[in-house]
Structure 1
Amino acid sequence: MKTLPFPLTIIAFLLSPNAYTNNYDTNQYFDDKTIERVIVTGSRIEESIDEVPATVTIISKKEIAQQMKITPELQDILAALVPGMGPTTGTSSNSGQTLRGRNPLVMIDGVPQSTPLRNGSLGIRSLDASVIERIEVIKGATSIFGNGAAGGIINYITKKAVTDKTLAGEISLSSRFSAVKLDNSAGQRITGTIHGQLEKLSYVVSGSYEENGVQRDAEGDILGLKYGLSDTVTENIFTKFNYYFDDEKSVQLTYNYYESQQETDLIDVVGSINSGEKTYAIKSPNGERLIGSPQGPLGNHNIMLKYTDDNIFADTALTLDLYKQDIENVFFFSTNLANQDEGYDGGQSMIKSEKEGMRVTFNTVVDFNNLEATFIYGTDMLQDITSQPLLDGRMWVPEMDMKNQAFFLQSKWHFNNDIIVKAGVRSEQIDLQVNDYQTLKLCRTPSQCSVAMPVTGDTLEYDATTYNVAVKYNYHHTFSPFISYSQGADISDIGRLLRTATVTDIADIRTEASVIDNYEVGFVSDFDDLRVEFSAYRSTSELGTTNKFDAVTGVYMPVRAPQEIWGLETAVSYRISDALNVHATASKVEGTNTATNEHLGGKQISAPKASMQVNWQPNEETQLMATLLYVADRNKFTQQNGQWVGDQGPIDSYFTINLSASHQIGDWQLFGGIENLFNKDYYPTRSQMYSYNGYNLKGLGTTITMGVNYKF
């Protein structure tokens, strides 16, 4: 058992119940009423959600806290609350968990966490949920923040000090364990936050530390280890400091460190959907640890500096963002990275990404009698250096050095306070430099190998201008329709194309940017106790990227082909009484390769999904919540030579029910949660759709969380 790292030990001591006198107003800390009406990321400035002509999901601090009583995993929270978001994968990876059939750009306070040049599908787990103020999900292709947002944006807005006291905070202790078989399943978790105001300086300092025990399915077996969370140790340190020069000018410094490593002496018993046997883990007979290094984020650093001036000149505000990020995500040991001729029985890769960026945003408001106009304009600059080496020294994806500069203009027009028109343009210039390199010779078997190819490097240049226009008519609160058209320019996952090159010159690899056209129509209806949201969308691109298995080499090769994706979403909230309310969502997405009229695989297109949250607060001290998740069938493919291939496995429907409860006793809160209440025995969607050996692990069996929280 690991001891707490020194910084978290200090935080735990500072937050101990005897350290300070209780003087904290809990009502102020959990007031979400104003937050839920504001959105930031859609147009880069704060604006009312009622003025946004697009589909937006806001997950408030209160909703995050409720879901964390069941699980701290962000991919599970998003799956339960966001229509159009793929169902949970049950692992550390968000592969297959797309947003409307395309990859979203994950951000922390507007800083990208995804690694689009080599998308490893690990961006969703990039900080601890306890430091998040709210989550904003903007759906549909957008170029507002640049490359990687083909499916939209997921922005984690982090906490800030919300008290005028010198010191306030909270500490939480909890344990999570299997109710099916307790052995070695109990984990432990501690989170702590202090925040306050010192004259013109406000601060937040937060730390979390979690040790998972083994995770067990409905039969009591340990879940498989590929992207697994058994025996994972996760640490997060977060700080934010705000200094206010006056009422109009301020500077903010934020730092976030996140690490999540699996350190285990378990080994996999490998199955697949084709063999019909599940993948599960057992204790290593010799007590040896897994081959290779622990998988997971090795230690990801984000530092962000923001300067704001609300009146830099007449009716104009300025926001200046500077940021730097270092990411090292380690993957599991794979025999698919073998090369027996050179003595390699397998290999282990790591995505390394270093980003440095600056964003300059001006916001000018002009009032023309009955017409109010807002102009948002500025420039973005980013350097992103990404590669995917193997830990044994071989280079799988060469270093890609991307320099990106963009200029943008967005405008919003208010006509008579009820018609809102938005229109904008973004001009993007990208230079991507790749030096000469050689692809790896990889062998699925000693006789089934890819061919190592020397490739001449070059600087690839991309220029794209994208547009967006949208109209919302706030005719009446009972019916507010909108229609929108938006474009996004995407050069994501160039690394996958480079590592499988079959030509000798990088200029001959089909690395062209993909421009996505996104069309959407919908409405919002608000009644006294009922809110209904509905949208229908269609998304097209001339160059999507899918994969096709090459039986000669044993490698999945990228395929650039035109794609069309479409879908429907709805969300309904109903307040039955002051103590009881219900929120339900449903979504369906489908897509095809329009060149061949073939359905897109499960890595992009998720099965239809519905969810429901029932919240009951019988008194001021007690809260209870039930969450239901239903995933429907999706069976669009046939077997090839008696085998399912790639991401084309059939999805069989399943549902799960989770419960959480909390009770306040003064400044203390007792809480608990039950995941998979009825111990449903099922395979999550990714386990069903992926045919690759070792990916078909089952969902968690009944798992219990119990804890206590103290505020001061």
Structure 2
Amino acid sequence: MIPRLNKSLQIFSLVLTVLFLLQPAAAQVQKQVILHVQDLKNAPISEASVYINNKLSGFTDGKGNYKTPSLTKDLISLKVKALGYKVYSTEIHADTVSPIVRVRLEEADDNLQDIIVTAGRRAENISTVPSSVTILTRKDIETQAQITTNLASILGNSVPGLAPSSNKATNAGQTLRGRSVLVLVDGIPQSTPLMNGQRDIRSIDPAVIDRIEVIKGATSIYGNGSAGGIINYITKKADNDTGSLNSHTVIRGTLNPVHPEGTTGYRASQRFSGKMGKWNYVTSATMEYTGVQRDGKGEVLGQTDALSNSYQYNLFAKLGYQISKSSSITGFYNFYSSTSHAKYITQSGLYGNTPAIGIPGEDPGKPAGTPFNHNARLTYTKNELFGTTTLDVTAYLNSFRSMNRYVASATAWYGPGQTKINSRKKGLRINLNTPFAIDGRLAELTYGLDALSDITNQDLVDGRIYIPNMKMINIAPYAQFKWDIIQSLVFKAGMRYENARVTIKDFNTIAKGPDGEGSIFVNGGKIPYKGMTYNAGLRYNKYKAFNPFVSFSQGFAINELGRIVRRATKNDLDSLKTDPIITNNYEAGFSSQAGIFTFTGAYFISTSKLGVELVDVGGYFAPQRLPENIKGFEVSIDIKPSDIWKFGGSYAYTEGKSKNDDGSKNYLNGARIAPPIATGYLDFTPGASWSVRLFWNHSGNRNRFEKNAKGAYNLNEGPVSSIDLFNLTAAYKVNKRLQVGLGIENLLNKTYYTVVSQYYANNDNYFRGPGLNAALNLTYDF
């Protein structure tokens, strides 16, 4: 019995051994590890993506922690990615790794330049965005501001596809790719699409702008008014490494040294910022006076909407509080004002022969310009609303007034008058983002709701109503999906549903003669505007040498409704109902970095079944609704052969046509389509203290229209001749606190007519551009 039992035990032991060998995984070491991800300053990094064996495993929480699934002793590949940081990569073993692994991420070299927040309402790397984007960094803005603080000029000189500045207090004709652009300040709309006052680009002072993001082409993510794209001014905030009190002071003086009489101007700007515990703050005050502007021959420029003798004021305050590691609240307020107190009035020129100039005198009306632009915003952010979902809730207010110049007589009303456009906006934006994994690939969904109340009207200073209150209520839900389909191939798609309604009460059109002559009573009513817009795009970003994208996006706009309302010829609002502008934007482009070279390029087609072009009807502008087709391309290059030298440039071409009912086509006029635009620059930085930059700005020829039966050009159809201008900046750091800067606009003192004055084809507005203007800037920091 004993030998048989021993034999049975041997067989049993053998079976157990075989079973054990056949199931090795069941006895292998399994361990869960907590990753603690932080930056080099030991601050936790939330929402970092954790990859295990090249598969997305999850995301860090608000404290920078992530608990891995069970790991085996097999070799584990671990990667951690976070926006703005270099990828962390290592290999670990489950049986030897510590229970807590600290991962420290280093900021990427191109952190600031490559991160944008406007395109998808969430911070993302530009290499994942399937559209054309131009970013002006803080350094770009400060360099351009050495020459001019006019934002319309700064953008016109820097953004391919944006029409050049008119050198006026308005941005008339400054379209983006031939269409209207939506201007935002930290996401707050500044544009007045119901009645475009064309002063939205100059709606804040550059002293409080940290960066400018320009998204080109129609976009459905922000809604009404963005047919051509978006310009988003992102305001300053306290830097992460600042102390409790930091000061930035700028003193500036300007002068035309060739023809100096009356041209002296000055500017003072003071900013304080800091962090104290959980609080951070930025405050700023700026005051600027612009002297008389003279052309290259010393003549005072024509004064219609001019910048001569104008005063600009800007007050800014931003306060933030870090409630917890996963939530914060930020509020800001900005006041901006720019008005002309001209000592000259316009003496008409002769179009094509002599310029309109300024002669001593004063307009009897109130100062034209932007008497006030108030912006207030309160934002609450929560990083871990549920799971990995983040929440941003923003409430905002905007109150804006645009004052037009006084006119002694007008075709639109009886007698003299001066109009002003008034806009009051209240809005709420709820934005959520949920990252997740699909088949081990990163995906995320951004979704939310926009609610907007916009009341816009236009009246005369004497109380007459030109355009009655147009009250728009717009509720727009949206969703944007993003997915790494395969490694380095990013897919984005989204939609937005516009549900807008404009309400207008009963009103009388403005009288065109004495005793109410020509006035028409119009029954009020409600005009609905509804529509779904879509976008989709792909970007392949594996190789920096060639990073291509393709995209389709739609835009929605209710534009120039006020012009239709004020020209009513019937007594029923139903006769004035118009369709919204739905714009389709098709685009293909790329970016490329190869050694010392950086290239970008894009080709686009923009179509709309019903566009809006302002055309000349008896001496005033009326909106024309016809199908439109706009095409163009943009290219840029930057070359850096050494740390001392850098140079580059850009070229943008746009052309567009509308289609008549009979099938014939007409070119879109100059107010919509800019001539070809080229830029160039040369940087020289011989050391840490010195920097010099030379700019070249070129606008080309455009001659698309014939004279009318009277032998003159219709408004906005005049031929445009080319212009070449040079600007120069130089800066010297005396020490780490004091810097001296020199900016020269129109370095060669060229005498020229602005692009707008050429195509406008009007005697009163046939203006030259400013001659040489020098600015001395002193900057002091502590």
* TM-score, length of structure 2 as denominator length: 0.84
> Quick one: distance in 1 between partners of 2:585 and 2:615?
26
Which one has more relative contact order, counting CA pairs under 8 Å at least 6 apart? 1
Q: Of 595, 607, 619, which residue of structure 1 is paired with 2:675? A: 607
Conserved 8 A contact 1:338-1:347: no
Distance 1:226 1:454, change over 3 A: same
Say if 1:661 and 1:590 are closer, same or farther in 2 by CA, change over 3 A: same
What is the CA–CA distance in structure 1 between the aligned matches of 2:350 and 2:440, rounded to whole Å?
Answer: 64
Q: Does 1:573 align with 2:573?
A: no
Q: Does 1:673 align with 2:743?
A: yes
Cross-structure match for 1:557: 622
**In 2, are the aligned partners of 1:272 and 1:695 still within 8 Å (CA)?**
no
1:180 corresponds, among 254, 258, 273, to 258
1:177, 1:703 within 8 Å by CA — same for their partners in 2? yes
Query: What secondary structure sits across from 2:194 in the alignment?
Result: helix
Q: Which residue of 2 aligns with 1:503?
A: 570
Q: Deviations over 1:152-181 (max 9, x none)?
A: 000001110013301012101011111221
Shift of 1:526: 1.1
In structure 2, relative to structure 1, the CA distance for the partners of 1:336 and 1:107 (3 Å cut) is farther
Equivalents in 2 of 1:336, 1:316: separation in Å? 59
8 Å Cα contact 1:87/1:685 also seen in 2: yes
Name the structure 2 match of 1:41.
Answer: 118
The C-alpha deviation readout for 1:656-704, integer Å capped at 9, x for no partner, is 0000101001111111111001111111110101123422211110100
Hey, what's the Cα distance between the residues in 2 that align with 1:491 and 1:685? 27
Task: Name the structure 2 match of 1:224.
Answer: 302
From the superposition, tell whether residues 500 and 645 of structure 1 become closer, same or farther in structure 2 (CA, over 3 Å). Answer: same
CA 1:430–1:436 in structure 2 vs 1: closer, same or farther (change >3 Å)? same
Partner of 2:454: 384
Q: CA deviation at 1:417?
A: 3.0
CA distance in 2, matches of 1:32, 1:81: 23
Task: Look up the equivalent residue of 1:322 and give its one-letter code.
Answer: A
3-state SS of 2:565 partner: helix
Alignment of 1:616-631 (within 5 A): 616-631=684-699
Partner in structure 1 of residue 22 of structure 2:
none
Q: Does the 8 Å contact 1:336/1:442 carry over to 2?
A: no
Q: Cα offset for 1:545?
A: 1.5
Structure 1 residue runs without a partner (length 5+) = 1-30
Cα distance in 2 between the residues matched to 1:691 and 1:404? 38
Bigger Cα displacement from structure 2, 390-399 vs 367-376 = 367-376
Residue 69 of structure 1 is matched in structure 2 by 146
Q: 2:647 aligns with which of 582, 597, 601?
A: 582
Which residue of 1 is the match for residue 347 of structure 2? 269
Deviation of 1:547 (Å): 2.8
> Closer, same or farther in 2 for the Cα pair 1:457/1:42, shift >3 Å?
same
Distance 1:421 1:32 in 2: 25
Residues 631-668 of structure 1: per-residue CA shift (max 9 Å, x gap): 10000001112111110010000110000101001111
Other structure's SS at 1:75 match: helix
Asked whether the 8 Å contact 1:301–1:327 carries over to 2, the reply is yes
CA contact (8 A) 2:221 2:495 kept: no
Q: Which residue does 2:711 correspond to in 1?
A: 642
CA distance in 2, matches of 1:442, 1:576: 65
Q: Distance in 1 between matches of 2:431 and 2:412?
A: 50
697, 701, 706: which is aligned to 1:633?
Answer: 701
| Structure 2: runs of 5+ lacking an equivalent | 1-107
Equivalent pair of 2:339/2:369 in contact (CA under 8 Å): yes
Match of 2:657 in 1: 592
The number of residues matched between the two structures is 668
Cα distance per residue 1:428-475 (max 9 Å; x no partner): 1001001112222448xx9xx994332221111111101111011124
Task: Look up the match of 1:26.
Answer: none
Residue in 2 aligned with 1:293? Answer: 366
Does residue 351 (structure 1) correspond to residue 421 (structure 2)? The answer is yes
The aligned counterpart of 1:247 is 325
Quick one: which of 733, 745, 748 aligns to 1:664?
733
Match of 1:523 in 2: 590
**C-alpha contact (below 8 Å) 1:487/1:516 kept by paired residues:** yes
Distance 1:228 1:164 in 2: 40
Q: How big is the shift at 1:268?
A: 1.1
Task: Find 1:405's aligned residue among 461, 475, 492.
Answer: 475
Q: Aligned partners of 1:616 and 1:60: how far apart in 2?
A: 19
Structure 1 residue 476 displacement after superposition: 1.5
Determine the C-alpha separation between the residues in 2 that align with 1:495 and 1:683: 31
User: What are the Cα deviations for residues 97-120 of structure 1, in whole angstroms up to 9, with x where unaligned?
Assistant: 100000110000010011111101
SS state of the match for residue 41, structure 1? coil
Counterparts of residues 6-21 of structure 1 (less than 5 Å): none
Q: 1:464 aligns with which of 500, 510, 531?
A: 531
SS in 2 for 1:543: coil
Q: CA distance change for structure 1 residues 224 and 205 in 2, over 3 Å: closer, same or farther?
A: same
Is 1:317 paired with 2:386?
no
CA RMSD, aligned part only? 1.6
* Structure 2 equivalent of residue 652 of structure 1: 721
Separation in 1, partners of 2:115, 2:594: 19
Q: Would you say the 8 A contact 1:370–1:416 is kept in 2?
A: no
Secondary structure at the counterpart of residue 227 of structure 2: coil
| Distance across 1 between alignment mates of 2:519 and 2:636 | 51
The 3 A distance-change label for structure 1 pair 339 and 586 is closer
Kindly provide the amino acid, as one letter, of the partner of residue 113 in structure 1: Q
